[in-house]
Structure formats: C-alpha cells, structure tokens
Amino acid sequence: MRVLGVDPGLTRCGVGVVEGVAGRPLTMRGVGVVRTPADAELGDRLVAIERGIEQWLDEHRPDCVAVERVFAQHNVRTVMGTAQASAVAMLCAARRGLPVALHTPSEVKAAVSGSGRADKAQVGAMVTRLLRLDAPPKPADAADALALAICHIWRAPALNRLQQAHAAAARTPRVPRTAAVPVRKVPR
C-alpha cells in the first residue's frame, strides 16, 4: 500500500509518501512541504496548496490519502486555515477517486511512538527510526506527514475489518424485540 500523508496548514502543508504493509518494514518514497506566503490572498494560497498536492499525487500515485483530522484549537484563525488546507487535500484525493482517511493527532502519535501525548521531537525520532532515515525530516510538518502515512498503513487492516463488520451488520435483517412479559408465580 502506498499512502500520501498530509499534515494540513496554510503556510506549511507537510506531505509524505510511505509504502508498505502492516507488520513489515516501511519505505519512504518522498517527503516535503507545500509552502504558501503568509501575505498572499487566501484563495491564492489554497490554489497553491492544491497544485502542490496534485503534483505529489501525479508523481507518487498513492493508493490512498491520510489527512490529519482538524481539531479545535484556541486560535480560531489557525484552525480555519488548517481546515481549509485539509479540505483541499480531501478534494484532490476525491477528484481521483482515492480513499481518504482522517486520523487525529493523538492517534498518529500513539501509532508511531506508543504515546498519544508524544511531542514533535519524539514523533520525528520515531519516524526516523521506523523509516530507517539518517536524520529526522525537517520541518516538523514533513515528519508529521510521514507519521500520518505510517499510522494509516498500520491502522488500515483493522479499520477495513471494522467497516466490513458494520456493512455485514447493516445487511443482516433485524428481528424485532418483544417486550418481556413478567412471569407471575401462582400459589399452589
């Protein structure tokens, strides 16, 4: 499986491609950052992110795209930019018919480091170790994108089984429950 991980952001949108299957050594196929100038108009920044992601999709031909799930932050402006960049990544994938998986930051941290509270340095160190790199990818957005791809490769088999179980349950006819009738003991 080849996964494009996307760590969304308006100024720096981390992208990384990892190939492999759960339980086997993984291989990094590419890592980088799509950058936009902070003083550019929002629409221009989103178009630049789209072009950057499209270029990565063209070059690496992933099987799916893993995007960091946007979570609430204290800075509304930051979360809006992150959400907009995230939507662009999902749109690019959907346009090509690629499945998109969303993973929370704590899921990603737990998958690569064993702790959902790992800091950026710990995530970078584990990505370096797991992909057998000489040094942690810089900036941290790039390492985070690789961590997203790793997380998805490792979680995908379980997620697929869960989806199949839900689909099978939806196809199974439901037997209506009847109200239980209390049994009264009759004196002898």
**133, exposed or middle or buried, with CB in 10 Å at 0-12, 13-18, 19+?**
middle
pLDDT at 57: 98
Rounded Cα distance between 80 and 1, Å, is: 31
pTM assigned to the model: 0.85
* Topology (CATH) of 2-169: Nucleotidyltransferase; domain 5 (3.30.420)
- Tell me which long-range contacts 30-38 makes (C-beta under 8 A, separation of at least 24): 30/56, 30/59, 30/60, 31/137, 31/142, 31/143, 31/145, 31/146, 32/56, 32/142, 33/139, 33/141, 33/142, 35/11, 36/10, 36/11, 38/10, 38/11
pLDDT at 181: 62
pLDDT at 160: 66
pLDDT in 10s for each residue of the chain, 188 residues: 999 999 999 999 999 999 999 989 999 999 999 999 999 999 999 999 999 999 999 999 999 999 999 876 677 878 898 999 999 999 999 999 999 999 999 999 999 999 999 999 999 999 999 999 999 999 999 999 999 999 999 987 776 676 677 778 888 877 666 666 666 677 76
**17, exposed or middle or buried, with CB in 10 Å at 0-12, 13-18, 19+?**
buried
**39, exposed or middle or buried, with CB in 10 Å at 0-12, 13-18, 19+?**
exposed
pLDDT at 133: 97
Rounded Cα distance between 56 and 50, Å, is: 10
Rounded Cα distance between 155 and 99, Å, is: 14
Catalytic residues: 7, 68, 141
